[in-house]
Structure 1
Amino acid sequence: MLKHSKSLSGHQNPVYALANSSRPGIFFTGGNDKGIVEWSLEKMSFSKVLMPVKTSVYSLHCYNGQLFAGLRSGEISIYDFDEQRVTTTFKAHEKPVFDLLTVPSKQELLTASEDGTVAVWSLKDLSLLYRIQVSNDTVRVIATSPETNQVAFGCKDGIVRIYDLNDYSLVQELEKHTLPVTSLQYAPDGKYLISGGRDAQLNFWSMPDYELKETITAHMFSVYGIAFHPTLPFFATASQDKSIKLWGSDNLKLYKILSIDKNTHGHTHSINKLVWSPDGKYLISTGDDKMVIAWEWE
């Protein structure tokens, strides 16, 4: 199913952020370095330092020819691929930006911060449309439903909060995790939302009512990444316990464990982010060991 393809070195410090490019075979990483790095899956190698940054990068997201970077300083930097430069950097929050996501149907950018707020920005002129006090503490992660009519925010207080994307009104609060929520993903078929937490649990919430259907102790420590395969009925999870696990999205069955503790190739420290290449051929992981690993689907 998944086998080690290549371990890529280049970062000098832990890596916290990972994103695909709109260009095939290209992805980006950022972390506690002074630059965001571009990589090539075709060459399985470092391409270049795409853009310099002054502080740690906690989140990355590509949309419409631009790369959005959320920084520890609370700023957002935007790199334009046509112009080959950073076109703007602006103060989005008073504290670090842990996640960001675009809502194409509304031409909006959502940013989530340690300050407990989510800010909504117009993609047309980057004006601030709303600032929502979602929690009294960090909002760690954002996920939008496949129909893009709802958005989920995972918070440090252990609660997943669901908002209506039309007017940003609070719809529901999902309380099951005993520690901070650290990962969120809606299933591509819209049947459920998965939340992962520092309590090592995966919770499965049915759609559209968000009824708790299943709880799995998935890892030994925090679940930092959940990524659905783009075409096949599988999803992968990554953890602070240094392992990647592959699950069936229909039956929730565990199919594969990738870990140096299981005598496979793997990370030596916490795995912080996971993403599939758009064609589903590779799973890419990165973390505190400064490594980027490409796993090939077979």
Structure 2
Amino acid sequence: MLTHIQTLSGHQNPIYALALAPAKDHFFSAGNDKGVVEWSLESMAFQKVLVPVQSSVYALHRYKDWLFIAQRSGLILVYDLPQQLLVATLNHHKKGVFDIKTIPHKDELISTGEDGILAVWSLKDFSFLYQFPVISDTVRVIALSNDEQEIALGAKDGVIRIYRAEDYSLLRELTAHKGPITSLQYSPEGDHLISGSRDAQLKVWGLPDYELINNIAAHMFGIYAIAFHPTAPYFATCSQDKGIKLWGSKDFKLYKILSLEKNTEGHSHSINKLIWSHDGKYLISTGDDRQVMVWKFSLH
């Protein structure tokens, strides 16, 4: 189902972030280096350093032809991909920014991180619009529901907070995990929200009422990313335990483990991020070992 086909080397330090490029076979990576790197899945090779950065990159997010680069310094850079230049620097957060998402129907960008606030920006002119406190500690991850009506925030206190996207009013709080929440993802069908935590558990919440319907002892250590396949009924998780796991998104069964400890190809340190290629043919993983690994997906 997942077969290792390439390891891409070049980063000198741990990698924290991945994002797909508009071109179907290109993607970006960034971390504790001094730049954002572009790679090609077609040639399985380094393309270029896209843009230099002044501090570690904790998150990348692409929307249309913009790449948003969230940094440890609190700055968010906006890079125009066709023009190949920085078009804005968003300066509001005083501490590291851990996640960024766009709400297309509102033309808004939202960001959060170590300062515990959610900041809202206009995509029309990148002006700062609004902020509100979530908790007095780190908010690690943002997920946007498929209909763009609800925002889920996962925080250090183990609570998932659900907000209405229209006015950012708090809808509910889910006392979810015994450790900080480190990953959150709505399913493509819009019937589940899945959360992962430093407590190594995956929790499955049924929508629309966010009823807890499954609790999975998924990994040995914190779960740092959850990535749904774009078309097939599977999702992948990665962890501080150096393992990648493939799960069924309907039956929540474990179908594949990729780990050096299981005598497969794998990462030698914590895995920090996973994404699928646009067409779902490849899973891309990266982490503290400074490697980007590419896995070919098949239904057999």
Fold shared, TM-score > 0.5 on shorter chain:
yes
Q: How many residues align?
A: 298
Cα distance in 2 for partners of 1:120, 1:153 equals 14
- Are 2:163 and 1:163 equivalent residues in the alignment? yes
The residue type equivalent to 1:15 in the other structure is: I
Letter in 2 for 1:117: I
Matched residue, 1:253:
253
Match of 2:154 in 1: 154
Calculate the aligned-residue CA RMSD, in Å: 0.7
Match of 1:289 in 2: 289
Residues 109-258 of structure 1 aligned to structure 2 (within 5 Å): 109-258=109-258
Superposition pairs of residues 2-13 of structure 1, within 5 angstroms: 2-13=2-13
Structural mapping, 1:254-273, within 5 Å: 254-273=254-273
Opposite residue 197 of structure 2, the aligned amino acid is G
In the alignment, the residues of structure 2 paired with residue 113 and residue 201 of structure 1 have an alpha-carbon distance, to the nearest angstrom, of 22
Residue type matched to 2:215 in 1?
T
Distance in 1 separating the partners of 2:177 and 2:247: 20
Unaligned 5+ residue runs, structure 1? none
Q: Is the 8 A contact 2:75 2:91 kept in 1?
A: yes
Letter in 1 for 2:71: L
1:32-47 equivalent positions in 2, closer than 5 A: 32-47=32-47
Q: Please state how far the C-alpha of 1:23 moved relative to its aligned partner.
A: 1.1
Q: C-alpha separation between the residues in 2 aligned to 1:92 and 1:63?
A: 20
The aligned amino acid for 2:226 is I
Which residue identity does 2:282 align to in structure 1? Y
Matches of 1:268 and 1:213 in 2, distance apart? 33
Q: Which whole-Å CA distance do the structure 2 matches of 1:20 and 1:82 have between them?
A: 14
1:103-138 deviation digits (Å, cap 9, x = unpaired): 111100010110000101000011222101111110
Give the superposition deviation at 1:94: 0.3
Provide runs of 4+ in structure 1 moved above 2 Å: none
What CA distance in whole angstroms lies between the structure 1 residues aligned with 2:214 and 2:90?
A: 41
Q: Is the 8 A contact 2:90 2:126 kept in 1?
A: no
The secondary structure found in structure 1 opposite 2:106 is coil
Per-residue CA deviation, residues 29-85 of structure 1 (Å, 9 max, x unaligned), is 000000000000000011100000000000001112110000000001111112111
Shift of 1:92: 2.8
For residue 239 of structure 1, report the CA deviation from its aligned partner. Answer: 0.2
Quote how far apart the aligned CAs of 1:176 are.
Answer: 2.2
TM value normalised by structure 2? 0.98
Deviation string for 1:222-275 (max 9, x for gaps)?
Answer: 000100000000000000000000000000000000001111110000000000
Provide the residue aligned with 1:279 in structure 2. 279
Q: Is 2:31 aligned against 1:31?
A: yes
**Matching residue's letter, 1:160:** I
Question: Which runs of 5 or more residues in structure 2 are unaligned?
Answer: none
Percent of matched pairs sharing the same residue: 60
Instruction: Give the distance between the partners of 1:48 and 1:232, measured in 2 at CA.
Output: 32
Q: Does 1:89 align with 2:69?
A: no
1:105 partner SS: helix
The CA deviation at 1:90 is 2.7
